[in-house]
Amino acid sequence: MKNNELIEIKNLTYKNIFHELNLVLPKDKFISISGTNMSGKTTLIKLLSGLIKTEDSVFYKNIKIEEINKSHYFNEIGIIIPVEKQLFINDTVENELFSILGNIRIEQDEKILQYQKIIKLLDIEGILSQNPNELGKYNRVKLLLASALLSSPRTLFLDNICSDISKNETKDIINILEKINKDEKITIIMSTNNLNEVLTTDYLYILKNGKIEIEGNPIDVLKQDNRLNKIGLEIPFMVDLSVKLNDYSLLDDIILDMDRMVDSIWK
């Protein structure tokens, strides 16, 4: 394993989902994993984050996940799987975050800085007094992100965190994730079934029936509209449009921004 590699999967066979899967995930990158329902995304996230056991096939920083002390590993990573049921014990978001901070072993001054930084980063000033059990999906994801970030993880595993969240809110979450990845140097591994979310990530894997069907730079992957359609994935509108315009030689690259698109066609 080279220096810039974080996780390696060797010959992973798991139930009927994966058969001899091989995969290497780089460090410090924002990686997305997509595929239709039942393609194995969630299982992969769980296997990588150590939530379900493998048979000696997943290596984190060159060590088998099974051989890493669980507490140690869970300190190093953050896992967010919003569909799983969790009740919050505290009556407000603020108290919930405080009680997490209380369990982290850093200096008091650092705690305050950390807290303020995360509040600002996630822009959750407005929900601090709300009951965490009564938050909407969007704010709940933000709270889960904040809770995970408080303990300064090196890697974040996110399973379909933007499902059932509006378009603009999704954009907002993805922007935050990009910031976390770039500024804090936290590796992000995110699964999603919405290809709109993967456009700005560093690398994209498309899973089909437990196998990597396509991989690479997201834009390059998304250009292969025929293959994606066959898999049953919906190509984001702007990408689809760009690809079609490319076919008629009206455009030479992929443009994601609507205004820029209008400008370049107008020329």
Partner 1 sequence: MKALITGASSGIGCEMAKYLAKQKCELILVGRNKEKLQYIQNNLPTKSTIIAIDLTDEQKVKELYVLTKNENIDILINNAGFGKCDYFDKIDLSTELEMININIKAVHMLTKLFLKDMLKRDKGYILNVASSAAFTKGGPLMATYYSTKSYIYTLTEAIWYELKKRRSKVSISCLAPGPVNTNFNNIANVKFSVKPMKKEEVAKYAIDQMFKRKKLIIPGIKMKLSKFFGRFVSDKFMLMIVYNIQKKKITSNK
Counting every residue written for the chain, the total comes to 267
Please identify which residue in 34, 139, 147, 181 interacts with partner 1, judged by CB under 8 A: 147
Residues whose CB falls within 8 Å of the CB of residue 250, separated by 6 or more in sequence, listed in order: 265
Which of 87, 109, 253, 267: binder of partner 1 (CB under 8 A)?
Answer: 87
Question: What are the C-alpha distances in Å from 16 to residues 9, 43, 65, 134?
Answer: 17, 11, 21, 37
Count, residues near partner 1 per rule CB under 8 A: 24
Taking alpha carbons only, the member of 39, 8, 35, 25 closest to residue 206 is: 35
Of 84 and 253, nearer to partner 1 (C-beta) is: 84
Among 71, 108, 168, 226, binds partner 1 (CB under 8 A): 71
**Identity of the residue, 132 or 218, whose beta carbon is nearer to partner 1 in the bound complex:** 132
Residue 123 engages partner 1 in binding (rule: CB under 8 A):
no
Q: Which of 241, 202, 194, 238 shows the shortest CA–CA distance to 218?
A: 202
Q: Which of residues 88-107 bind partner 1 (CB under 8 A)?
A: 88-91, 99, 102-103
Strand pairing category for 211-216 and 77-80: unpaired
Least distance (Å) from partner 1 to the CB of residue 124?
A: 18
Q: Cβ 49 to partner 1, closest distance in Å?
A: 9
Cα–chain-centroid distance for residue 151?
A: 18
DSSP 197: G
User: Residue 83 interacts with partner 1 (CB under 8 A)?
Assistant: no
Contact 187, 154 (CB under 8 A): yes
Helical (H) or strand (E) element with 144: helix 137-150
Instruction: Tell which positions 12-51 bind partner 1, by CB under 8 A.
Output: 46, 50-51
Give yes or no for residue 175 binding partner 1 (CB under 8 A): no
267 counts as binding partner 1 under rule CB under 8 A = no
Site residues (CB under 8 A) for partner 1? 46, 50-53, 70-71, 74, 77, 79, 81, 84-91, 99, 102-103, 133, 147
